[in-house]
Structure 1
C-alpha cells in the first residue's frame, strides 16, 4: 500500500502534463500521486475511460433514503476532484442528476472542471439541476434519436440511435472523442458504470472505501449476476492510503484501448522535462 501525498509541486506537474504533455523530473514520476493520476490523461489520438466509486466498508453508496453526501471523507473527495481535473469529460446518468443533483466541478482542487456529460436517453434532465447554474462549464446531454424534443438552458446535445439496452457506451465515447473529449471519467450511477465496465471500455476502476458501515442501501456497481466465482472480475490492483479513505486502483486488463499514460510515461523520455 502506498501513502498518497499530493504536494503543490506534484499537482502543478500533473496539470502541466495534462495541458502540454510535458513530463516532470524522474523523482516526481516516481511518486504515488503521479502513478495514480497520470494514467487518466489522454493525448493525441489516445482514448482513456476510467470510473470512480465512493462507498462504505459494506459497499453502500447511500442510505435507503438516498443520503450519499458524507460517505467519502475529505481526502476521498479531494481524490475524486483530482480525477475530474485530469479528464476532459465526466459522465453521469440522468438518474444520478435527479437523485443527487451533483455539480461535477473541481471545487476541492486547483484545475479545470471537465465538460459535464449526462446520459439522458429519454430527455428527462431536470431544468433546475445544479450543474446548469454552476460555473459556466459546458453541459452535454446524450439522448436517443427518438427522444422528445427538449433543450435545457445552457446545454448542448448529442443524439444517438436507441438500442435494445438503451444508448451504446462505445457510441457515447466515440461521439465524445469526435468533440475532442478523449479522457473520460464515468462517475455514476451504478448501472451507468456497469454498462461501460461490461462493454470492456474502462482501463481503470477506482474504488474509494470510507471507514463506515451503513448496513443497507444501494451499491456502487450493478453488474449482471454470475453463477461461479470463476466468472468474477479479478483485476490487478494497487492500493493507496488517501488519509480519510482507502483507494483500490483496479486495472482492467481486458479493456481494449489500454495504451494511455502509464505506458507512455515510462517510454516517452524524448519529451522535455520540466
Structure 2
C-alpha cells in the first residue's frame, strides 16, 4: 500500500462516521497533506446541510494546505446548494493536487468539479480505492440511479429456522446483544417497514432505543386496510420524536378503512388494487429516503425476496429449537424451485452476539423488479 492509498483508506474511514447523519447526502471524508506529504488536516461530512468534508479538512489544515494535496472520497461539488461549492474552497486554499476516489454522478456535479479543478491548473487523479468508495455510498448511488432506497432485510430465527412458534409467540428469539444491534441499525435508517400481520401480532412501536441519529418513519403495508383500532403506532402517530418514533405511513388498497388512522395523524397512501413493494419503494424514494429496513413478518419478507428488492441482509441465529411444521420460517412467498436458483449472498461475514450469531451479507446484484402485490 502506497502513501496515497493509505490516506484514501483513512478518508474512507472518516467518511463512514457520517453514516445515518448525512443522508440523503453521500458520506464523504477528506484528508489534506502539506507540500511535504505530511498530514495537515482532515474532516468528514457530519450532518445533512452542514459543511462538506473538504471544508472541514481545509479549515483544520489552514495555511499548511497551500501547495499540498487533497485526498477525498468523492468528487468535490461545483454548485451552490445548501453550502457553497467545495471547488471554490479548494482553489482558495492553494491546493495543487486532488486525489479523488470516485466521480459524483449527482447531475449537478457529474464530473464538473473535476473539470473545473483541472481547468484551474490543479492536478487531479480519479479512481484510487474506487470500489471501496462505491460500496460505502451504495445507498446514495442506488437512490440516484433507480429512485428507490437501499433495502435492508432483517430477521431473527432459531437454529431450526423458525421466527415464531406455531402460536405466533416470538418474544424473544434473539438475545439482548442482538436486539441492541438491531436498534443501532434502526437508528440509522429512514424507515422501518412491517406488514399488517406484525402490527396485529406484536403491536410494535418501531423505534430505536436508545435513539440514534435518525427517527425513522414507521411504515405499514396493508392491502386490506384492516388494522387494529388501538395500537401503539396509531396512538403515537402525532407524537413524532426520537423517543416516540418518526411519522407513521400506511400503504393500502383500501384507504376508506383507515380514515380513523388518518385522523389520528397517519399518512395513509392509497396504491391502486394492491400494495406493490416497488410502488412503495418508489414513493419512499420520492421522499428522499436513502435506507429502509424491512423487519417482517414472513409474508412481507417473502414478497421482498420474491421481488428481489433486498440489498443488504441482517440475520440473527439463536441457539434455540422450536420445531413444528406450522411454526413460520423467515421467508414466505413463492421462493425458488431449484437449488440452482438459490440466492447466494456476497461479502458475507458472521460474528457472535452473545449466544447468537449475526450473519451479514449483500445481494449478489443490484436493481429492482416490480412483482406481485403484497397481501394482508
- For the aligned pair, the TM-score class normalised by the smaller chain equals 0.7 to 0.9
Separation in 1 of the partners of 2:202 and 2:169?
A: 8
Partner of 1:110: 212
- Does 1:219 pair with 2:329? yes
- 2:365 pairs with 1:254: yes
User: Counterpart in 2 of 1:264?
Assistant: none
Q: Which residue of 1 aligns with 2:156?
A: 54
Name the residue aligned to 2:344: 234
Aligned partners of 2:193 and 2:295 also within 8 Å? yes
TM-score normalized by the length of structure 2:
0.56
Aligned to 1:207, the other structure's residue is in SS state: strand
- Are residues 155 and 246 of structure 1, via their aligned partners in 2, closer, same or farther at CA, if it must alter by over 3 Å? same
Going from structure 1 to structure 2, the CA distance change for 1:122 and 1:212 (only over 3 Å counts) comes to same
Q: 1:45 aligns with which of 137, 141, 144?
A: 144
**TM-score normalised by the chain length of structure 1:** 0.76
Q: Does the CA-based 8 Å contact 2:218-2:248 persist in structure 1?
A: yes
Shift of 1:48: 0.7
Gaps of 5+ in 2: 1-13, 32-43, 45-72, 74-132, 237-243, 369-376
Match of 2:300 in 1: 192
The answer on 1:120 being equivalent to 2:228 is no
RMSD: 3.1
SS in 2 for 1:150: helix
Deviation at 1:158, TM superposition (A): 0.8
Q: Which structure would you say has the larger RCO, counting Cα contacts within 8 Å and 6 or more residues apart?
A: 1
After TM superposition, the structure 1 = structure 2 runs for residues 170-181 of structure 1, keeping only pairs within 5 Å, are 170-181=278-289
Count matched residues.
240
Pair member with larger Rg: 2
Shift in Å at residue 53 of structure 1? 1.0
Report 1:89-104 matches (<5 A). Answer: 89-104=191-206
Give the CA deviation at 1:185: 1.0
Distance in 2 between the 1:79 and 1:25 partners?
28
1:14 aligns with one of 19, 35, 38: 19
Q: 1:84 to 1:23 in 2, by over 3 A?
A: same
| DSSP 3-state at the match of 1:176 | helix
Does the CA-based 8 Å contact 2:225-2:258 persist in structure 1? yes
Partner of 2:373: none
Contact 1:77 1:108 in 2 (8 A): no
Secondary structure at 1:173 match in 2: helix
TM-aligned CA distance change 1:89 to 1:16, over 3 Å: closer
In 2: Cα distance, 1:22 partner to 1:78 partner: 24
